[in-house]
Structure 1
Amino acid sequence: MSSLGVLDLSYNNLQEKLDRKFPHWPDEAFEGNQQLCGSPLDHCNSDDASSRDQSGLTASSVVVISAISTLATVALFILAFKAFFRYEHNV
């Protein structure tokens, strides 16, 4: 990042804490990213971070949702397969 002459990440809906590579960039380069924090911006508030984490899905909930979706899809394929062969057998 040190070789960049200009950086403008404004209004990109960025969030989370900035890496340590950005403290020398002006605040204007990150303008409009309301959930972005860290140097050179204001420090991250722990309350904001915890409310943001609670509003999103956790990794374990994504795994559970994916597993249930996969099992439901497999069950539908099995039912469709049985229905197809039952129809073929009756014709």
Structure 2
Amino acid sequence: DQSIQRRVDQVVSDNGTLPADDLYFDLKSGSTNLGEVDQPALLAGIPQNQVNNPDGAYQLFRVGDSVTSRNIHAAIYDALRLCVAF
């Protein structure tokens, strides 16, 4: 390994802060749970069975970058917590 040192005037870092949530909000009205998480079920490790829209066609959960700018590991962990009981 080789080490290089530099003196610079500025360091620019890009850290996203806004969620990429357009798709989530587009799909929300067609979901059975309207995007809501049943918190007691989540904490108990049981399936998410909340139905707020009986005409919905799927369950929808907001994870990863639809919550806030995050890394892949955080998104996978969000989904794992919600889907572990399926």
- Specify the TM-score bucket, using the shorter chain as the normaliser: under 0.3
Bigger helix fraction: 1
Larger Rg: 1
Higher relative contact order (CA 8 A, sep 6+): 2
User: TM-score when scaled to structure 2?
Assistant: 0.22
Bigger strand fraction: 1
